[in-house]
Structure formats: C-alpha cells, structure tokens
Structure 1
Amino acid sequence: MDLDLTAADFCGVVLAGGTAARMDGIDKASVELAGRTLLAHAVDAFLDADEVVVVAPQSVPTERPVTFACEDPPRGGPVAGLLTGVDALLRRPRLVGVLAVDMPRVTAATMRRLRAAADGHDGAFLVDRDGRRQLAGVLDATRLADVRPGPEQQHGMALHRLLSPLRLASVPAGGEEGLDIDTWADLRDLGG
C-alpha cells in the first residue's frame, strides 16, 4: 500500500485579512481577549488540524506553527481568502475548515461538531439563532475545488455565492459560539 505523505484528513484556514472598518481599521488578529490574541483563539479551534494557514496581510506571532499567506491583491474578501489559504496548504486535505479570526468562542469542539455534521454532505457551517450562516465551517476539499471560480471572479465574491451549489449541513451555534467581534462594544461584551 502506498502512503501519500502529502495527504491530510483535516486542515484549517483562518481568515484574518478583513478591514475592521468598525474598529478603526485595527488588525483584529492582534486584538486581545482574556489575555490572548484573537488569532491565538482561532488557531486553537484547529487543534485537530494537520495544518493551519492564516490568511492576513500581516503576521502576528502564534504559539503553534502556522503558514501565513495573503491574497493578491490583499483584502479580497472571504472567498479570495479561503481559496488563497487552500492554495497555501502543503498537504491535500479531505476536509478544509474555515474560520473568521473574530469568532473567538469557536473551539476545537465546535470544529469537531462541524466535521461530524459534514459527513454525507459537501460541508457544514455554524448558524446563529436566526439561522444565518456564520464564517465558521468545514468543506469537502474536492467539492470546493469543483465549484472554485476563476481568479478574476474570486476578489470581492460573496461566500454564499461560492457555496450555493453545495449541500451544506447547518449546525446551530451553542452559547456564544456564533458571536463575532465587529465593534469595540462586541469585544467589551465578550469580556475584552
């Protein structure tokens, strides 16, 4: 039996390249919550991942080794970020996890639930109390490649448009999992 050393079961992509317009343009990855950066919280969510890529225009130190990448041009939105992250992976995963850096209550347990829910589907995403899809999910890497748009379409493309042909399971957020930090008030409310 040949063993493919470049293959992986699960890899993660952290999207950290947003403009943070409602937070004075600060680098959200470096914002601290409970004494740790939002990036550290996001990387922790991928505890079970074979590899993690952080898509951001600048790098923030991490406790765990990660690969940093940036879409070209930078700040291309979640689709460009996700696909840039996938392209930067050193291994070919079966499943790709994606997480916005500003969702610090998503944990490794959340990602495990998403991976379990993705079984028999093209992926699974966390949904909030109102049923809105959050930027925390798991996708079958082969199916993602099937719907991948050309490079000229990726920049600024809405994530729901990319995902619309896929059969995705919805996983209700528990507790504060579905909360993101868009404003300074959001950070304060989460204890930052």
Structure 2
Amino acid sequence: MADERAREGREDVTVVVLAGGGSTRFGTDKLAADLGGVTVLDHLLGGLPAHWPVVLVGPRRDTVRSDAVWVREDPPGGGPLAGVATGAEAVHTALMAVVAGDMPHAAAAVPRLLTALDEARPEVAAAVAVDDDAHVNPLLAVYRVAAVREALPASAHDGPAKRLLRLPHTEVRVAGTPGRDVDTPDDLERLRRDG
C-alpha cells in the first residue's frame, strides 16, 4: 500500500534513465531490442507513471515518452557516473530515481525505493536496490538530488558508478525481473521467458 502511495500524486521525483552506452556485450543496440512487441527502453519507460518527469541521458531516439527531456554528457561516452551527473543537472525536483535503460522491468521497483527513502532518517541520501545475487546496484536507486550534486566530482567522466554508494544509503531487496538488466542476448531471452 505504501508503494502505491509512493507512485500516486508525487511531484517531488524525476526519473533519470541512462540510455547511452555501447552495448558491446550484446552486439547490437540492446535498448532497441524487442521485448514483448516493444523495445527494451520503451518497456521501462511505459512502466513509469506518466506524470513523473523523465530525463533520458544518451543519444536522442524515438520513445513512448515524447515528453522526456534528452541530455548528453560532455564529452559523450563518459560512462554511467557521468550520465548520472548530467542527468542530475537537468532535474528540478528534490528526488531523482536513477534507472539503467537496459532494465526493462525496473519501473516496478521505483515506488518501493521511494518508500524506503521516505522512511529513512534525513541524513540517508539514497535507497539502493540489491538484486537476487546480492549485488548493490547504484543504477537502480532513488537519490536526494542535492546530496548527489554535492558528492560528485568536478569531472565524473569514466568514474565508477559505485562511487554513488559512498553516500549514506539504505539497501532495498529487489527480487526477480525488476532487478535484472540486459547485457547479453541470453539475458534478454531469460527476461522474455520469465517476464
């Protein structure tokens, strides 16, 4: 019930979707790969509440969210931490949910992360997902925007995304498909089968 309240009527959250990257292990553009008749990226975007603002970091493409703001790190190809930094600059809300664009079912986890951050002490700056393999994922998390802006280095280019875990955070178990990404064609096949 609290997760549903986290979804409805909130005006304090923007979703930053990392939609760049080279898809080197996948072999082709994994965000454009078909999953249930839509692209991997559109599967994610379609699961987000329509009234939440979305910032997409990466090269512009057509998506189901024509209202999304597109930004690009400078120089392009700086990695996920640079993407988060660039996305944070475009956010005008107190909170931002960061989601990797190759996590098609991750929208289901965002309300739970929001609830966890709402219930945390004020000094906690983030609620971060932990997947079935016990990996803490800074690219599926909700952050206090001011804390992220303050913590990021002057140049986040090629910095490790795990740097975000230096922020005081709470960890939230995200089981099953919402915590899984698409790195390889086998990953996509598993999501087609299990999703």
Alpha-carbon distance in structure 2 between the residues aligned to 1:48 and 1:124: 22
CA distance in 1, matches of 2:43, 2:62: 12
Q: AA paired with 2:112? A: R
SS at match of 1:72: coil
Match of 1:118 in 2: 117
Give 1:84's aligned residue: 86
Check the 8 A contact 1:30/1:60 in 2, yes or no: no
What residue number does 1:171 align with? 172
1:21 equivalenced with 2:20 (yes/no): no
Task: Report what 1:140 is aligned to.
Answer: 144
Total equivalences in the alignment? 178
Does structure 2 retain, via aligned residues, the 8 Å contact 1:94–1:141?
Answer: yes
8 Å CA contact 2:46–2:64 kept in 1: the answer is no
**Runs ≥4 in structure 1, deviation > 2 angstroms?**
26-29, 60-64
Kept after mapping to 2: 8 A contact 1:28/1:101? no
Q: 8 Å contact 1:53–1:66 — kept in the other structure?
A: yes
Write the mapping of 1:17-166 to structure 2, written as runs, cut at 5 A.
17-24=20-27, 26-47=28-49, 50-89=52-91, 92-107=92-107, 109-119=108-118, 120=120, 121-134=124-137, 135-151=139-155, 154-164=156-166, 166=167
Q: Is the 8 A contact 1:124 1:137 kept in 2?
A: yes
Distance 1:177 1:136 in 2: 9
Aligned-pair distance for 1:64? Answer: 4.4
CA deviations over 1:65-119 (Å, ceiling 9, x no partner): 1011111111111110011112223xx2111110001111212x41110001112
What's the CA shift for 1:29? 2.2
Distance 1:48 1:96 in 2: 15
Q: Is the 8 A contact 2:15 2:97 kept in 1?
A: yes
Shift of 1:58: 3.5
Check conservation: 2:97, 2:142, Cα contact below 8 A: yes
TM-score by length of 2: 0.84
Q: Structure 1 length as normaliser, TM-score? A: 0.85
Change in Cα spacing, 1:125 to 1:173, as seen in structure 2 (3 Å) is same
- Percent of pairs identical after alignment? 35
Local SS of the residue matching 2:177: coil
